[in-house]
Structures are given as structure tokens and as C-alpha cells.
Amino acid sequence: MQERKVVLITGGAMGQGRAHALKYAENGFDVVLADMLDPEDERFAETVSLVEAFGAKALAVKANICKTEDMEALFAKAWETFGRLDVVIANAGVINFGYTWELTDEQVEKVINIDLIGTWRTDKYATQYMLKQGFGRIINISSTSGLYGTPKLATYCMAKWGVLGLTKTLAKEVKNKGITVNALCPTKVKTPMCETPAYVEFINELTGKNFKDYHEMYEGVPFLEVSDIAEMVYWLGTSPVADKFTGREVPLDLGTLQ
């Protein structure tokens, strides 16, 4: 009987992370879900239940990607439980808004610590374990904001540009070791992160519109579905073709880069 493959996803409790987890579970992977939420939280528990409905094993772990001890424990538990890590998706991220000259230290440090340093910490331990087994695929979630600047989005742009630098560097470091490292760069996606008044206000200022809430915003501005991201993340993690390149940024941009 063929051993089941394993995917580890940070920010796995809901949103994009949940979509990734379900896509992999549906296709025969066991799933490690890491999130700052407690596994008893109803949103996290629902994701676990949905994963298990596909017949997959789900290991749910509360982990703060900003804490080395949490990430060490997460990867050690995943390895102890499954003995392999085929795919690691550095998905966890946050966003905030403000003109560059108005940003506080706290605003900048929060996004950099989670979106960039947290991704580095995820990649660090993923690589350590993948080097043990001699194979693996690391997928970092960057953004089209890692490819161009956007007013009032300095923190997010800085972090997501940094993710691309990390991706390209690590890819060279593990070249010829059976590990690929690539970054997916989606444009706007329908997730809870985009369903806040602050995000709607940001889009209104960016587009000159006057959407009253995120429902109107979704109707008036093109957004990707989480399933779109999950399809690409699954392809990057499993396709024989995706094994032929590394250190690349892969845009999913709805034409915004034209």
C-alpha cells in the first residue's frame, strides 16, 4: 500500500489555508494545519472536520509563526506524526493600510514579522526536514503586491517583495537537493482578510468607487476565488511539470500586470 503524502499549511484554519487543505485532502494527502487560532475554535474545528471527511488525517496545531519555539514544535510534531513532509505552504499573512510617512513602528513590524519573517521561519524548518528526506516542495504565498507598489500598502508590499527574495535565495541554496521553492503571487482574493471595513475603504480610495460593504466590492471589482488559489497551489505542489523550475514567482493576476 502506497504511503500517503503530507502537506503542511500555515494559516490553515480558514480562508485560503482551508481551501488549500481541502484540495490536498481531496487528492489523497494527509494534512498538518497550523494557525494562531486554537484547534477548538469553531472555524478551525470546521476545517479539520472537512479535511477528515475526505478520509485524510488532520493534525491541527496552534502555532504562532512569529515564535521560534512554536515553529520548532510544529515541525517536530508533524515529523513525529507522519514521518515525511512532501509539501509545505507558507500561507499565513495579514494586511494593514497607511501612507508610508504615517505608518507606526507597530504597523510595520506586525506585517513584516508575520508575512516575511514568519515565512522565513516556515521555510527554515521545512527545509531542514526536507533535506533529511531528500525531496520536497515549498510554496510561499506572495502577492501581486510583491511585484508592484500600491499607495497605502507599503507594509504589505515590503513583506511580499521580501518573500520573493527569500524564495529565490532558498531555491539556489537547495538546488540539486530534490527540493523546489516557488512563490505564488495572487491578486485580490475573496477571503476574510478582505471583508473588513478597512479593506473596503482601501479599495474605494484605490478605485474611486463608493462600495458600502464587501458584498458590493466583490460585485464591482474582480477578485479571485480561494479555489483558484488552491488549484494553483496544488499544481505547484504535485505536478511533474512544476518540478522543472524553482525560484520563480508565479502570478495569478486577473490581468493586473498588463
Contact 31, 21 (CB under 8 A): yes
Q: Is 27 helix (H, G, I), strand (E, B) or coil?
A: coil
Q: 129 catalytic, yes or no?
A: no
DSSP letters spanning 32-61: EEEESS-TTSHHHHHHHHHHHTTT--EEEE
Q: How far is CA 221 from CA 91, 173, 197, 214, in A?
A: 23, 40, 16, 10
* CA angle at 257 for the pair 113 and 232, rounded to the nearest 5°: 65
From edge to edge, which strands make up the β-sheet containing 136-141?
58-62, 30-35, 6-10, 87-90, 136-141, 179-186, 249-252
The C-alpha atoms of residue 233 and residue 86 are separated, in whole angstroms, by: 13
DSSP 14: S
Could you say which of 125, 129, 156, 234 is catalytic? 156
Read off the C-alpha cell for 223.
477578485
Q: Is 8 helix (H, G, I), strand (E, B) or coil?
A: strand
Catalytic residues: 156
